[in-house]
Amino acid sequence: MIEYIPGLAGVPATESSVSSIDGKNGILAYRGYSIEDLVKHASFEEVSMLLRDGELPDKNKLDNFKHVLHKRYEVKRNIRSMMWSLPTNGHPMDVLQTAIAAMATFYPGADAQNPDSIYTQSALTKIISNMSTLVAMWARISAGYDPIPPSRGMSYAKNFLYMSFGEEPDDDIVKLFDACLILHAEHTINASTFSAMVTASTLANPFASISAAVGTLAGSLHGGANEDVLKMLDEIGDAKNARGYIKNRLENKQVIWGMGHREYSIKDPRASILQAMIEAYIKKSNMRLSKRFETALEVERICEELLSSKGVYPNVDFYSGILYAEIFKIPQTHFTPIFAMARSAGWTAHWHEQVGHNRIFRPTQIYTGADFRDYPKK
């Protein structure tokens, strides 16, 4: 008998050196470096190189990568024209998936059989670079405005915010957003990464694989949870209403959005970092947030009281939505595309790793249909 494990929960599907999770101790590391250290000392560009190459770059390599990455910010005219032709009420993730898939037509030589070629490596860099431009472009187009051309002189984080709002953000905001990109850049073999790997295992080009990952991330059980957290906090309305709301949902066996993670039995380290950064920023800037943050703190306290014995604590989505909406002023529909933008660094690293020791994925099944039978005689 073959054991059926729904969702392949806990089933090793690959060997990987890209990232690791110690769920019992709340540790997430990229290539052996803790995310706490990376957020404190590195930039998103540096982390992208670490994920790609396996080691931190020296200054010359990092400067060259930044130059190449920033030079590729610009999107092909045909892609821009295609995006203008799409309905403005189209979901940003559908638009992003379409645009990434279409990019393959401009890079036919990006070959999974030659992943280390200069051409293929350039295509992988192009994916990461164009992600930021595509997300910012659609934010503008869908609102009825012309896209703002990218600035090759700005960092990845700063350029995205500039293209989104038309103004250069201050250094504290850039550092905060850069940290968000680092925290979302990679997270072992989750659903979207696995989707990219399965597609890569057929030796499909990297654009097809990343497009598949974007489509997978679009699902509400994966990439859209931070939007659900905000909706939940708005429903609660005030911290004093939190206990009754949480108890009611638990009694009705409903999800507490942003609480719990399949990999962590204590608080998600990314949630701890985001919470601390929010508190530090509002203290430094004297910014006043809405009741959402106060309500979120109370929800976390109550959930710790009621659910900590089951290993249920806040995950990264619990605080990221507040940060995006309250501090960055980003519309909710663009939260998940920003997640995809950051995760492109991890997806491309896994694409390269997969095709480097490739075997096509071909799981089996447990058949539950009808027994063998003859076609009925007429």
Q: Which of 96, 88, 90, 177 is nearest to 134 (CA)?
A: 96
Tell me whether residue 261 is one of the annotated catalytic residues.
yes
Exactly one of 70, 178, 268, 317 is catalytic; name it: 317
CB atoms within 10 A of CB 112: 22
Alpha carbons 11 and 7: distance in angstroms, whole number: 9
Tell me whether residue 357 is one of the annotated catalytic residues.
no
Alpha carbons 210 and 128: distance in angstroms, whole number: 10
CB atoms within 10 A of CB 167: 9
The SS3 call for residue 22 is: strand
Angle at 18 between CA 17 and CA 19, to 5 degrees: 100
At 71, give phi and psi (nearest 5°). -65, -25
Q: What share of the chain is helix, strand, coil (3-state, %, to 5)?
A: 60, 5, 40
Exactly one of 70, 184, 187, 261 is catalytic; name it: 261
Which residues are 29's β-sheet partners?
20, 34
Q: Which of 200, 197, 196, 190 is nearest to 221 (CA)?
A: 190
Active-site positions read 261, 317
